[in-house]
Amino acid sequence: MSFISSQNSGRRTPFPFLTSFSALALMAISSSIFATQAIAQAVNEVIITGNPLSRSENANNVSSLSGMNLIQQGQSTLGETLNNLPGVSSTYFGPNASRPIVRGLDGDRIRVLSNSGASLDASSLSYDHAVPLDVLSVERIEVLRGPAALQYGGSAIGGVVNVIDNRIPRKPMQGVLGKIQLQGASGNQEVSKGALLETGFGSWVLHADAFDRNSKDVKVPQALACTKPGSPELSKRICNSANNANGGALGASLFFDQGFVGLSLQTYKSQYGTVAEDEVTIGMKSDRAALEGAWRPTSGIFKSVDWQASQTRYQHTEFEGAEAGTVFANKGHDGRVQLRHRPWKTGAGTWEGVWGWQSEQARFSADGAEAFAPFSHSRTQALFAIEEFSIGKASLNVGVRREQVSVQSLGNPDPSVDRFELGTRKFSPQSYAMSSAWQWRPNWRLSANVSRTERAPKDYELFANGPHIATAAWERGQSGLGLEKANSMDISAQWQKGAHQLKLTAFQSRFGNFIGLLGSKEVEDDLPVQIYQGVRAKFSGFETSGQWRLAQSAGTLDLTWRADAVRAINLNTNEAMPRIAPLRLGAGLVHATGAWSSHLGFDWHAAQNRVPEGSLTTPAFTLWHGHVAYKQKVSGSVLNWFARVDNLSNQWAYSATSILTSTAPGKAPLPGRSVKLGVLASF
């Protein structure tokens, strides 16, 4: 299998046709002629979930976006797409780079997965590094907490974000189906398009998809200064916030009586402005090959055997004008095997569970003037087990994970760069979790989770030592850091009666050694020195969401709401932790009748005045939004038309969870009013 070399971005991609939307769109349209003649096999909706036992989203604290909700709420970044889920906020490094923050935890405490497999990139290294995926090619995104998260390691200490597509088909089919999506937005002059085609014949199912997203500088309510050549010196746009991204994939699966085996090749390219620096852009490329398979034996102890493996080559080049500057690269592979045993009946209850093995390896490099971390080699081997005991209306989940982690600093091949410490650190994290759920009454479900999790420090937390412009600091690691350890618990209550529903969760996490980038009194090369240090910390808060049916006659009218809050404290200093979302409240009216649906609502963010020394406070603000959708059937195809408006009142606001709010004050407000129009055609 051949990939583009991370050291030579000028070579052609090994499958360049994937970046051509036009070719795939024409193929999809042409194929629709034959689709009417094909005998399609009826296939129910498939949910590939991070919960290996697939019993209940409620017991394992899974929240998700899919279907038209994902299409309407989808943004160009993963963090902003999930920003309205209860308990989830965004790192927001401008409109082009953001990762999810779950219950106040970000970076390597949130595990981002691709179809339950590792997604190797450099997005957790720095806030300006984007996640190499686009929601135009995604079917479903899940946020997972609880014992099932132990499948994915200590980096899932705050939760798992599983990005799901069908690039490796997992269900047999006959005939042809496809989708074409077109959309545009006024705020950033976006023009986006995507297409998907799947065909099944005999034992084979083939998949192809491609997408292309182009946008210009993002519109805001007030004028901002800009020094980028060719841009106005003052305009109501976020300077250097344009983005061009494209990519796609080919996949195929062979099905047999007791399972399948599949392969996919995918590529992603993006070029975007960094926002913090007016003349710096980032060119990013990621190539990934994935294998996946399943075996469902008809007898024996195991009900199923699932396995997957992937290889990724990622490169991220920072350009100052036309000149290439620092180059970040990450090459690696991962593998996973999961064995699900058949139910064991013991007394009045039943045990069902999954045992697994996981291996990951990555070689990271940073080469250039702003290489603040050394070349490194990281390896992880892990065993895990998750068991569920069910008895009547109650269930108990127990999970355990044991890892062996090796992190090696290789310094820098440039002999003039001698500031990095060399060496290898080895760790043996162990994590345990338990959850329970009880159908207390017909309309009430109660659940609780407790966990003891450990995370090995990352290469940059141990060995970083250099200038990092994105954080406006000189970052320094500490090779003597120990395991990050946390004791966490949450309790939830869920009520549902017909269309009425309510869910409330309270949580707390206590860290004995929270590894954070904290300020110091040192200065190096005119930059303040920030050091990765372990401190005692506490994160606590709540999440709630619900729906109330107000009217039901020819159509339905529902009131929906959500709220969340996190309070995080550095127990060593009694200061607030940085970049924590304030109290957030949201509500909306949802109307549906026939083929039409509509929504009007708002999100209110309280002022965030609890910030550590050196961080800026943010005032309260309210963002109004709305959408209208219409479903139309035409000659065997379905057209889903939609229109959405964000920040309806054109509110001027700053994100409390963005590092730019403090390190580059005034440069990255939230986007202003924008109208998005689009259509999704399915056949």
For residue range 424-456, list pLDDT tens digits in order: 999 999 999 899 999 999 999 999 999 999 999
3-state DSSP assignment of residue 220: strand
Q: Which of the four pLDDT bands, split at 50, 70 and 90, describes residue 567?
A: very high
For residue range 610-650, list pLDDT tens digits in order: 999 888 999 999 999 999 999 999 988 999 999 999 999 99
pLDDT at 145 > cutoff 50: yes
Taking Cα atoms as reference points, which of 162, 163, 218, 161 lies closest to residue 189? 218
For the chain, which residues make up each domain, given as ranges?
18-41+49-682
Computed on alpha carbons and rounded to an integer, the radius of gyration of the chain in Å comes to 24
Give pLDDT, residue 31.
34
Give pLDDT, residue 120.
83
Give pLDDT, residue 22.
37
Give pLDDT, residue 552.
92
Taking Cα atoms as reference points, which of 99, 107, 119, 83 lies closest to residue 514? 107
- In sequence order, which residues have a C-beta less than 8 Å from that of residue 546 and are 6 or more positions away? 500, 501, 502, 503, 560, 561, 562
Give pLDDT, residue 442.
93
- Between 536 and 136, the higher pLDDT residue: 536
For residue range 273-287, list pLDDT tens digits in order: 999 889 999 999 999
Averaged pLDDT for residues 157-183: 92
3-state DSSP assignment of residue 35: helix
> Rounded to whole angstroms, how far apart are CA atoms 102 and 155?
13
Task: Give pTM, 2 decimals.
Answer: 0.88
Q: Which of the four pLDDT bands, split at 50, 70 and 90, describes residue 503?
A: very high
Averaged pLDDT for residues 47-60: 51
Averaged pLDDT for residues 657-682: 94
pLDDT at 5 > cutoff 50: no
- In sequence order, which residues have a C-beta less than 8 Å from that of residue 360 and are 6 or more positions away? 118, 332, 333, 334, 335, 378, 379, 380
Give pLDDT, residue 2.
31
For residue range 352-380, list pLDDT tens digits in order: 999 999 999 999 999 988 889 999 999 99
Give pLDDT, residue 155.
67
Residue type, 509: S
CATH entry 2.40.170.20 includes domain 18-41+49-682: yes
Averaged pLDDT for residues 169-174: 94
Give pLDDT, residue 52.
64
Averaged pLDDT for residues 15-27: 35
Q: Which of the four pLDDT bands, split at 50, 70 and 90, describes residue 17?
A: very low
Least confident of 202-216, 460-474, 476-490, 566-580: 460-474
| CB atoms near residue 663 (< 10 Å) | 19
Averaged pLDDT for residues 567-587: 95
Per-chain mean pLDDT for the chain: 88
pLDDT at 81 > cutoff 70: yes
State the DSSP H helix or E strand holding residue 631, giving kind and residue range, or none if neither: strand 621-634
Give pLDDT, residue 48.
42
> Rounded to whole angstroms, how far apart are CA atoms 603 and 354?
40
pLDDT at 28 > cutoff 50: no
Q: Are 629 and 600 contacting, i.e. CB atoms less than 8 angstroms apart?
A: no
Give pLDDT, residue 55.
53
Give pLDDT, residue 103.
92
Give pLDDT, residue 400.
93
> Rounded to whole angstroms, how far apart are CA atoms 419 and 328?
18
